[in-house]
């Protein structure tokens, strides 16, 4: 279940806030599914980014994705934390890469 919010436009602060909510809910679904499978990960507060380029959020988000990949036995978790999301090209590449990561997780979990 991927949301069309992965297509939010660059430099859209209003849409960024909607994206944050939708994205955090997607992570909650993943966390719940992992819990029902008896797999535990550390859950980070993913609705607390102040802006698209909040490095604390990016690092926590990366740690959560790393943990999800590890517990699912997936290899090759890409680096989602070092992109400069204030640059349009990096934003668009990050959105696509991030969508691919969620698609792989959802496929593995049967979501």
39 CB neighbour count, 10 Å cutoff: 15
Using a cut of 0.75, tell me whether the model's pTM lies above it: yes
- Residue 1, pLDDT above cutoff 50: no
Return the pLDDT at 3: 53
Give the pLDDT score at 55.
87
Note whether 42 and 68 are within 8 A (CB): no
The answer, yes or no, to whether residue 106 has pLDDT greater than 90, is yes
The DSSP 8-state label assigned to residue 107 in this structure reads H
Q: Indicate the pLDDT class of residue 18, thresholds 50, 70 and 90.
A: confident
* Cα–Cα distance measured from residue 91 to residue 109, given in angstroms and rounded to the nearest whole number: 27
Is the C-alpha dihedral spanning 48, 50, 52, 53 positive or negative?
negative
pLDDT higher than threshold 60 for residue 5: no
pLDDT in tens, 31-85: 999 999 999 898 888 777 776 678 888 999 999 999 999 999 999 999 999 998 8
């Amino acid at each position: 279940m991927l949301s069309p919010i992965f297509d939010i436009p660059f430099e859209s602060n209003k849409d960024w806030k909607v994206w944050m909510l939708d994205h955090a809910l997607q992570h909650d679904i993943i966390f719940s599914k992992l819990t029902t499978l008896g797999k535990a990960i550390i859950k980070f507060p993913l609705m607390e980014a102040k802006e698209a380029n909040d490095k604390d959020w990016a690092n926590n988000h990366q740690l959560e994705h790393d943990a999800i990949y590890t517990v699912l036995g997936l290899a090759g978790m890409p680096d989602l934390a070092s992109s400069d999301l204030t640059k349009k090209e990096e934003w668009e590449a990050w959105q696509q890469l991030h969508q691919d990561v969620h698609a792989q997780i959802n496929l593995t979990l049967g979501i």
